[in-house]
Structure 1
Amino acid sequence: MTSTKPKHFLLAPFGGWGHLRPAVSFIPNLLSKSPSSLITILVPVSNSIPTSEEFSRFGLDTKSNVKVIHYGSKENTKEIAYTKGNGLMIQIRELIGAINANYGKIIKCEPVYDTLLEKDVETHRIIPHLAITSITTTQFTIPACEKINKELDKDVKLALWTPTGVEHAAWVMCNLPQGETYRERVKKILEAPEEEKDKVYNEVLGENEEVVHVPGTAPIYIFEAQPNRKDTFFRIAYSILPILPRVTMVHPYPAFLGQEYKRAAEKSGYNVLQIGAQLPRDDKISLQDGHIKKFLDGALAEKGRNSLSILLEVLISRDKRFILSLGIASPEIQVMVQEKLDRQGNGKGTYADWAPQLSILKHEATGWFLTHGGANSVLEAIRTRTPMLFWPADIHQVWISNAMTRVHSAGYEFLQVRNGPNIGRTTYTGVKVEGTKEAIEREFTHVFGSLEKDEYGRKWRKGVERLGERMENDELTEGDWKKLVNL
């Protein structure tokens, strides 16, 4: 797979940690397959510190063929990975600005201003042959890059970094075996008079009870695709769909999980590559000394392997040990969690603003993973063979949860936590969502009380182990890697 002529890859991922972190892991993986490659990556100042730590982890900070260009305001710099909701919107705007300001200079091999270093830095002396920008900013950055390519008469190929589940991509992009597509449904919403949009949204998405068969997933009713909040993605999705046939979508997702999607995408006119999970190697994963490591070591000593589970009162009452990452939870929820654990936890649970998730999943004490079902989290669980308990909110999370639980038997999805139009309706699997505190508590108590029983634990553990073995020996992923290097 090694090219005889050096190629230059320009990476401009969205600055949110869930997009940026796998993009950093992509670099050593690319260099292992194409050692002569040159790489330029745009990094927001807000996440420059954790990115620098990742670079050191991989030894990338000493490689002359890898250049980092920082953009954005130094006022937003954070010590840990920045994930707050308002910060993410700032990062989107900053990335669009960075592409507009720097893409042409990089194409012309001119110096670019680095906002962290506060000076111009030299770029590689070879024009990029491939620029990989973010799926999040497609409608702004791809047309801008195309315009600059045309003005400078440069043939730089364009791709999109797409670290989301391919199941959701199949729902948004592809023609379905039956029924209306997502595109057709969204078009009805957007074309409706302003005063009718909410009504039409409920008719075609929110409260729609038609069955949908999305490639790679089990059938569900349309309303189940929004289990905990309305679809906030449809406007963005509709605006980027006309652009997607002009680029290659690069999914850091195992190819063996996305073959149905890939076939459907090709039939629908899209070019997609699935290059596998972009995660650190095992020898690059370590849990630093601190209260989380102390808690896990104590749980292991007290309870033995696979003792860690999650969920506040039910978990405390059932003598489970758990770590809760507060993440982007509202201040009110964070205060509630802290007070409850400090007052009632009896040392059974602990919390952190941000947790080194992969290191925690790898720890011997960790037996289960309660997750929203994001692509990176799920791939980390598969990598560490940790069965999952899903609490999805929206977008790609519900589709990943669907595939992991109903297709691959690698975990369980909580259903009584659903809200909105789901309440009072029966799921495709025959479970009625009651929408009461009692129903939620009943489900939590049943599931967390049954994890170590054969009915659940053994089945789900075998399922995630099968996925882990296939992910480590995925020839289909290697094939897409070769296609990417040779674009």
Structure 2
Amino acid sequence: MSSTSTHLVANCIHTWSHARPLVTFCARVVKMKPDLHVTFLVTSLLFERLNKEKARSFDVGDESAQRLRIVSMGATTDMIGDGQIEPWWRALVAGEEIVCKQTDTRYAPLPTPPAVIFDVVGVKNIGIVRAISGKSVKIYALWPALTYSILQLFGDTHVGGLGNIHERAEEESRRSGRDFADVAVEIITSKRGDVIRMQGLPPMYDYEYYPQEALGDGKAIVDVLSRVNEVNKTVDGAILISCLSWEKDAVQTARDWMAETSRSVFIAGPLLPTASKSTSTENEKSQSPQGAEIQAFLTKTLETSGRHSLLYISFGSMNWPVKISDKLWAFLDVVMELNIPFIMSAASPLAVVPDEVNEKVKTYGKGVISTWTPQQMILDHPATGWYVSHGGQNSVTESIAAGVPFIMWPFSADQPINAVLATDVHKVGYELLEVRSGPGLQKIFRTGYTPIGTVEAVKDEARDILRRAFGEDGKEKRARLQALQQAALGDWEEGGASRRDVAAFLASL
């Protein structure tokens, strides 16, 4: 190891949608900077999958892979995997050896890290490093979602955000005598009918940001979420996983906001594996127990039904329409009624597929339901025509990069805004409205329509949208998406926006 080597430390909460783009970012930067070493500290929950995901960015013989070490800190009792870093950080800054809790691999000391990348919601770990190292280390916050969503939830009020939620909730709790957690949840998930306006987006009622009824009371992680705005005032900059062409107004708003306090914003999307297509596909396929079956199914579908004939359905690794599963099975009935081949991911720990549904799909013969799908392999396949998506940022990015348009079924977080970007701003998809529940069954600001929300309404809407998607209207949307696809992929080419920004980030270390 050279005496001029640079050491960067990375960490995120143990959610796949946060971890996957960060490991890809880390793989990119060690390739771009030959003297850079990265230590990615993770909980045991994600260790094995992240190592497989890392392999998707390095071809055999690529020695830069050795400079990205993924180290397990072991299991944690923290719900999101935050606050575990203290002993590891003390060892790293002291120049001591560290030992992976998963493999017992011993890692030799590296130079003291001048910078770390932490999840924007990793408020405990950010606080730990600040308390130990002060301003001697730069802390960059990874914004692991749509930029609009981070701004709306954690930004100051003058950029369209909720401001210091913790301070607001404490003040209201003192004034009214109400429980702090109740007040904080109310602030975060406000559904009073206020109109939210953000640059580059059509206005939306606040309840439209939560089109599905919540599964819990939201108190479990409210203390973390309420502190994000406050704690992130202490970081030195932000790294965005989004694409400039998808939400340029939000990116500019983020830059202007952070510049008020002389902090930098670096855009890094799309964060996609950088190994050869065969290496990337094989490593992704290995993460799914049905990977080979799905690949064979795609090949057969292309032969029998042609290009763009398949519908891919996935709600990501966490979301599932638990309280309205009857609407999901009604939608699937219409898919089969219209003789559309499909693959459905049931990856969420909340996902339950009834035996009668599995039997119906087996009898149908043109569908696959899997507990974990090789998503990018599916989206990149020429048989895939449309993606029924929850609208999480990783899924949106992967779909844009593959040129596959959307049918949106959003739940919360960045998903409702991505649905609006897909349908109203870029006009490259549709949104299912009748699948909404709870507060979502209220008037939509931009159209004035109020969803009916019955199973029959879901079926009627599904027939209409699927027929249009697989018809001439769908072809127009697919053609329109190609411009976004080219722009997104160009962001990492020489002179592209993300390549320039990440090079500037590396130069700042």
Relative to the length of structure 2, the TM-score reads 0.82
* More moved, 38-47 vs 297-306: 38-47
Match of 2:232 in 1: 244
In 1, Cα distance between equivalents of 2:32 and 2:482: 27
Match of 2:344 in 1: 324
CA-CA distance at 1:268 after TM superposition: 3.4
Q: Of residues 251, 257, 262 in structure 1, which corresponds to 2:246?
A: 257
In 1, Cα distance between equivalents of 2:40 and 2:185: 39
1:71-110 equivalences under 5 Å are 71-73=73-75, 92-93=80-81, 95-97=82-84, 99-110=85-96
Equivalent pair of 1:111/1:122 in contact (CA under 8 Å):
yes
Equivalent pair of 1:164/1:375 in contact (CA under 8 Å):
yes
Task: State the SS of the aligned residue for 1:136.
Answer: coil
Task: State the SS of the aligned residue for 1:182.
Answer: coil
Q: Of residues 99, 109, 122 in structure 2, which corresponds to 1:123?
A: 109
CA-CA distance at 1:34 after TM superposition: 1.5
CA-CA distance at 1:383 after TM superposition: 0.6
CA-CA distance at 1:63 after TM superposition: 4.2
Identical amino acids, percent of aligned pairs: 23
Amino acid at match of 2:305: K
In 2, Cα distance between equivalents of 1:44 and 1:430: 46
Equivalent pair of 2:162/2:188 in contact (CA under 8 Å):
no
CA-CA distance at 1:43 after TM superposition: 3.1
Equivalent pair of 2:344/2:368 in contact (CA under 8 Å):
yes
1:282-321 equivalences under 5 Å are 283=277, 284-286=279-281, 288=285, 290-309=292-311, 310=313, 311-321=331-341
| Residue 356 (structure 1) aligned with residue 374 (structure 2) | yes
Q: Of residues 464, 472, 479 in structure 2, which corresponds to 1:446?
A: 464
In 2, Cα distance between equivalents of 1:421 and 1:24: 36
Match of 2:390 in 1: 372
Amino acid at match of 1:286: T
In 2, Cα distance between equivalents of 1:136 and 1:204: 14
In 2, Cα distance between equivalents of 1:92 and 1:64: 28
Match of 1:466 in 2: 483
CA-CA distance at 1:437 after TM superposition: 1.4
Task: State the SS of the aligned residue for 1:430.
Answer: coil
Task: State the SS of the aligned residue for 2:141.
Answer: strand
Q: Of residues 124, 145, 151 in structure 2, which corresponds to 1:140?
A: 124
Match of 2:454 in 1: 436
Task: State the SS of the aligned residue for 1:330.
Answer: coil
CA-CA distance at 1:175 after TM superposition: 5.0
Task: State the SS of the aligned residue for 1:96.
Answer: coil
Aligned residues: 460
Match of 2:139 in 1: 158
In 2, Cα distance between equivalents of 1:302 and 1:210: 50
- The structure-2 alpha-carbon separation of the partners of 1:21 and 1:203, relative to structure 1 and needing over 3 Å to count, comes to closer
| Residue 182 (structure 1) aligned with residue 162 (structure 2) | yes
Task: State the SS of the aligned residue for 2:230.
Answer: coil
Match of 2:271 in 1: 278
In 2, Cα distance between equivalents of 1:399 and 1:277: 18
CA-CA distance at 1:229 after TM superposition: 3.0
Match of 1:480 in 2: 501
Equivalent pair of 1:324/1:350 in contact (CA under 8 Å):
yes
Task: State the SS of the aligned residue for 1:11.
Answer: strand
In 1, Cα distance between equivalents of 2:73 and 2:463: 48
* More moved, 49-58 vs 155-164: 49-58
Task: State the SS of the aligned residue for 2:377.
Answer: helix
CA-CA distance at 1:453 after TM superposition: 1.9
Equivalent pair of 1:256/1:476 in contact (CA under 8 Å):
no
Amino acid at match of 1:453: G
Unaligned residue ranges in structure 1 (runs of 5+)? 74-86
| Residue 171 (structure 1) aligned with residue 152 (structure 2) | yes
Unaligned residue ranges in structure 2 (runs of 5+)? 286-290, 314-330
In 1, Cα distance between equivalents of 2:506 and 2:357: 46
- The structure-2 alpha-carbon separation of the partners of 1:426 and 1:72, relative to structure 1 and needing over 3 Å to count, comes to same
Q: Of residues 399, 404, 417 in structure 2, which corresponds to 1:386?
A: 404
CA-CA distance at 1:266 after TM superposition: 4.1
Amino acid at match of 2:83: I
Relative to the length of structure 1, the TM-score reads 0.85
Equivalent pair of 1:185/1:205 in contact (CA under 8 Å):
no
Amino acid at match of 1:257: W
In 1, Cα distance between equivalents of 2:228 and 2:188: 20
- The structure-2 alpha-carbon separation of the partners of 1:334 and 1:16, relative to structure 1 and needing over 3 Å to count, comes to farther
Equivalent pair of 1:14/1:92 in contact (CA under 8 Å):
yes
Match of 1:51 in 2: 50
CA-CA distance at 1:23 after TM superposition: 2.0
In 1, Cα distance between equivalents of 2:161 and 2:25: 32
CA-CA distance at 1:69 after TM superposition: 1.7
In 2, Cα distance between equivalents of 1:197 and 1:14: 21
| Residue 16 (structure 1) aligned with residue 18 (structure 2) | no
CA RMSD of aligned residues (A): 3.0
CA-CA distance at 1:438 after TM superposition: 1.6
CA-CA distance at 1:189 after TM superposition: 5.6
**Deviation string for 1:217-268 (max 9, x for gaps)?**
2221111111113494765433110121221221122234343223323443
Task: State the SS of the aligned residue for 1:290.
Answer: helix
**Deviation string for 1:177-220 (max 9, x for gaps)?**
79x74237886666244379879977995432232212342221
CA-CA distance at 1:349 after TM superposition: 1.0
CA-CA distance at 1:463 after TM superposition: 2.8
Amino acid at match of 1:441: K
- The structure-2 alpha-carbon separation of the partners of 1:285 and 1:195, relative to structure 1 and needing over 3 Å to count, comes to closer
- The structure-2 alpha-carbon separation of the partners of 1:335 and 1:399, relative to structure 1 and needing over 3 Å to count, comes to farther
**Deviation string for 1:299-342 (max 9, x for gaps)?**
11111000112541010000001011111153544656434423
Task: State the SS of the aligned residue for 2:20.
Answer: helix
Task: State the SS of the aligned residue for 1:161.
Answer: strand
Amino acid at match of 2:194: E
In 2, Cα distance between equivalents of 1:451 and 1:186: 44
In 2, Cα distance between equivalents of 1:235 and 1:214: 26
**Deviation string for 1:324-383 (max 9, x for gaps)?**
1111153544656434423xx411211111001001111111111111111111100011
CA-CA distance at 1:112 after TM superposition: 1.5
**Deviation string for 1:437-459 (max 9, x for gaps)?**
1211111111112212222x123
**Deviation string for 1:6-43 (max 9, x for gaps)?**
32111112232222222222233113321221211113
CA-CA distance at 1:479 after TM superposition: 2.9
Equivalent pair of 1:133/1:141 in contact (CA under 8 Å):
yes
* More moved, 411-420 vs 280-289: 280-289
Equivalent pair of 1:307/1:366 in contact (CA under 8 Å):
yes
* More moved, 254-263 vs 388-397: 254-263
CA-CA distance at 1:114 after TM superposition: 1.5
